[in-house]
Amino acid sequence: MEHRFYTLDVFTNNRFEGNPLAVFTDGDGLSDDQMLVIAREMNLSETVFVQKPTEEEALAGCASSRQKKNSSSLGIP
């Protein structure tokens, strides 16, 4: 399984400082279990999966993309 992702440092103005997080720009089609496995493998405090809106969200005029965040609050160390 191949997915594009970026690592970012937040809450800092300097590279390699602050709080690192991973952003997966193609989270569509991943199950919750797959996202948890990926987040555990990343071993960061935050991992974000960006997803296209569902048909229901699109019809309701919601945001143009969704995100699913996996963090330590979901049982990830």
Tell me the per-residue pLDDT of 8-64, one tens digit each, with 9 for 90 and over. Answer: 999 999 988 999 999 999 999 899 999 999 999 999 989 999 988 878 877 777 655
CA distance 48 to 67: 6
> Catalytic: which of 46, 55, 56, 57?
46
* pLDDT value of residue 71: 58
* pLDDT value of residue 2: 84
The yes-or-no answer on residue 46 being catalytic is yes
* pLDDT value of residue 38: 93
What does the pLDDT average to over 62-69? 58
Q: pTM for the whole thing? A: 0.70
* pLDDT value of residue 69: 62
What does the pLDDT average to over 67-72? 58
The DSSP letter of residue 75 is T
CA distance 50 to 76: 19
Measured between alpha carbons, how far apart are the two ends of the chain, in Å? 23
CA distance 60 to 32: 24
